[in-house]
Amino acid sequence: MDGSEHTALKILTQIRMAGFTAFFAGGSVRDRLLGRAAKDYDIATSARPEQIEALFPKTVAVGKAFGVIVVVEDGTETEVATFRTDGGYQDGRRPDSVEFCGAEEDAKRRDFTINGMFYDPLEDKIFDYVGGQEDLKKKIIRAIGDPDRRFAEDHLRILRAVRFAQTLGFEIEPATRAAIQKHAPDLAKISAERIENEFSRTLTESLRPGDALKELVELGLMESIIPEILPMIGQEQPPEFHPEGDVFVHTCIMLNLMKNPTRVLAYSVLLHDVGKPDTAFMGEDRLRFHGHERKSAEMSEGILRRLKLPSKEIKQILIAIDGHMRFKDVQKMNKSTLRKLMGAETFDLEMELHRVDCASSHGLLDNYHFLLEKAEEMKNEPILPERWITGKDLKELGIASGPQMGRLIQLAYDAQLEGRFETRDALLVWLKTQL
């Protein structure tokens, strides 16, 4: 039993000892039946919010009006929600009102059958009022009750259905699938932050993220997530470099080749060629995409800012996208350029982007292995050592701060990285000849 489960069990037991009904609810029950470790534990109870507040010394009223209280215990936050039914939904996100009820009525207002079950850990008993166990066996994502109503209530459930299907390897059953397609335009009413969270989790948690992307397109959801992806579909590429197919097919294969991807890697892969349709032209010999990496970076910046990713992550993604074509020249680079590439903060990210880019197309990984060998050669020394020559040295030579000083500092550092001088003094003597 991990720490969060132990804490949740302690909270649940205390609620039960006070005379209330209390069960584990939602995802932890699903994961228990699937034999998977749960990420967190939610509790559903007959106790009212004020009764929960009275039972525990530290609580946070995150959604008291909706019956939700967070209990803080052992440094862990556990969500405790009163059994409820929901009134109408005017904003496509939250109910306008709630009424407290029993466990069965609460289960029937939840999103999908596999998430609508309760578990009593004290008696080791499952309470399933919605057919969740049967759908787990069938590996089906099914909306509880009327799927049209479920998606009208909370539009984000549209994306959640795809995420659950793709992370569990399940199929979305036909009626639920049809309702998703019907409500696809409603995604445009959802905030960018909520869309980003669900979409990013789909990219990083799916068994095959490329297949997840295809399903999002097929269901008509990408128009409200990243419509710039759609022109990649059908954008041909030179078969000698891309025998796998068009830009979209290439990107989907790359996504499927990622291993335990971070959000930064997933978006780098997803958007690295998004500028190809805008830069495509027929050259004398073949179809070309001159400057597509720069165009892709420019488009990606707008996309990522629209999705409100953190600025630091956006910067890393843009560096990887803008520089992804450099890797074809690594074996021709001089030492200083190569070391600056390998010493960059984003080098591991760029390496993985390069690996899946090549593996999904022509399959040539010679540049990737060349860089691995170089990294092995330099493992006992700093790839980017401290500069021998600084601005202080140049000021002593009479050089004022400004562009000239910057150029001379870089000139000296490149010479140092290339190993052209064995000592700092020798480098300084040479630099004086360049003034």
Mean pLDDT over 385-411 rounds to 86
Distance (Å, rounded) from C-alpha 303 to C-alpha 275? Answer: 12
Domain ranges in the chain are 1-133, 227-377, 391-433
Residue range 170-221, pLDDT digits in tens: 999 999 999 999 999 999 999 999 999 999 999 999 999 999 999 999 999 9
Neighbouring residues of 65: CB distance < 8 A, sequence distance ≥ 6 = 98
Tell me whether residue 332 is exposed, middle or buried, using C-beta atoms within 10 angstroms of its C-beta: 0 to 12, 13 to 18, 19 or more: exposed
Strand partners, 86: 98
In order of 14, 49, 90, 178, the CA distances from 55 in angstroms are 8, 10, 33, 45
Residue type at 249 in one-letter notation: V
pLDDT of residue 97: 61
Residue range 339-392, pLDDT digits in tens: 889 989 999 999 999 999 999 998 999 999 999 999 998 888 788 888 888 888
Distance (Å, rounded) from C-alpha 85 to C-alpha 81? Answer: 12
Q: At residue 86, does pLDDT exceed 80?
A: no
Fold of 1-133: Beta Polymerase; domain 2 (3.30.460)
Residue range 319-339, pLDDT digits in tens: 999 999 999 999 999 888 998
Neighbouring residues of 4: CB distance < 8 A, sequence distance ≥ 6 = 38, 40, 41, 76, 78
pTM: 0.87
Helix/strand/coil percent split, the chain, to 5: 55, 10, 35
pLDDT band of 431, cuts 50, 70, 90:
confident
Range with the lowest mean pLDDT among 10-14, 72-76, 144-148, 281-285?
Answer: 281-285
pLDDT of residue 95: 63
Fold of 227-377: Hypothetical protein af1432 (1.10.3210)
What angle in degrees, to the nearest 10, is found between the helix axes of 335-342 and 347-359? 100
Tokens representing residue 273 in the block: 């060629």
pLDDT of residue 379: 81
